[in-house]
Chain A
Amino acid sequence: NAGVTQTPKFQVLKTGQSMTLQCAQDMNHNSMYWYRQDPGMGLRLIYYSASEGTTDKGEVPNGYNVSRLNKREFSLRLESAAPSQTSVYFCASSEVWGIGELFFGEGSRLTVL
């Protein structure tokens, strides 16, 4: 049972470099999310996709872009990484937007030097 799979698990970038975090879910969920988690703070929503074909900004979208490639996959791109984007990133999915419980990937630890 794969659930939500995200890659890579660890990445070190230099300021200004770009990278894409990949996320895939095999539960046929409609909604997918990207969060970042920083010490002492709650999970903060970067972008979400309520259903296939739609994406919307969350609480902290600046410096990120997303693509809902199909129902399974939702990627997060950092076009020009900054040290402030050093964080742990979690992808999640839910069957139903809003009420449905979230299923999380294992997280991706990103360090920007």
Chain B
Amino acid sequence: ILNVEQSPQSLHVQEGDSTNFTCGFPSSNFYALHWYRWETAKSPEALFVMTLNGDEKKKGRISATLNTKEGYSYLYIKGSQPEDSATYLCAFISASNYQLIWGAGTKLIIKP
């Protein structure tokens, strides 16, 4: 059974502070890793699709790194703003069947 673990489950961060959270996935048969942001009452929106070990991707104040050999990815948010409050999902794609396996998400709450 393939497992994708995200930690922490939830996180409260003061506005202006930077933060990061983790996505752990199987280190074998890696194909790709996705990060999504899911705001309350909306649908998930893609942040990054990462495919290569050592990949670093950035979109504004949000960035992500990928380590396929040890099976983890970090998502970083610099200078958190209230609009960053959301659940952040990662999804691992195995090269054995190309299906996305989703983590349960990290719920981020930014305190003004």
Q: Verify B49–A41 contact, CB threshold 8 A.
A: no
* Contact partners of B93 in chain A: CB under 8 A: 98-99
Q: Verify A98–B102 contact, CB threshold 8 A.
A: no
Taking CB atoms and an 8 Å cut-off, the chain A residues in 9-67 that contact chain B are 40-45, 48, 58-59
Q: A57 to B51, alpha carbons, bound, how many Å?
A: 25
Query: Is the contact region of chain B dominated by helix, strand, or loop, or is it mixed?
Result: strand
Closest to B44 in A: A104
Q: Verify B42–A99 contact, CB threshold 8 A.
A: no
Q: A2 to B31, alpha carbons, bound, how many Å?
A: 30
Is B11 at the interface (CB under 8 A from chain A)?
no
Closest to B42 in A: A106
Closest to A107 in B: B43
* Contact partners of A41 in chain B: CB under 8 A: 104
Taking CB atoms and an 8 Å cut-off, the chain A residues in 57-113 that contact chain B are 58-59, 90, 97-107
Is B75 at the interface (CB under 8 A from chain A)?
no
Q: A42 to B44, alpha carbons, bound, how many Å?
A: 12
Partner of B102 from the list A40, A43, A103 (CB cut-off 8 Å) is A43
Tell me the count of chain A residues lying within 8 A, CB to CB, of chain B.
21
* Contact partners of A106 in chain B: CB under 8 A: 42-43
Q: A101 to B32, alpha carbons, bound, how many Å?
A: 10
Q: A44 to B1, alpha carbons, bound, how many Å?
A: 14
* Contact partners of B36 in chain A: CB under 8 A: 102
Q: Verify B89–A102 contact, CB threshold 8 A.
A: no
Q: Verify B104–A58 contact, CB threshold 8 A.
A: no
**Binary CB contact string for chain B from 68 to 93 against chain A (1 if under 8 A, 0 otherwise):** 00000000000000000000010101
* Contact partners of B44 in chain A: CB under 8 A: 43, 90, 102, 104
17 A-B pairs, CB-CB below 8 angstroms? Answer: A40-B104, A42-B89, A42-B101, A43-B91, A43-B100, A90-B43, A98-B31, A99-B32, A99-B51, A99-B93, A101-B49, A102-B36, A102-B100, A103-B46, A105-B43, A106-B42, A107-B43
Q: B residues bordering A, Cβ < 8 Å?
A: 4, 31-32, 34, 36, 42-46, 49, 51, 89, 91, 93, 98-105
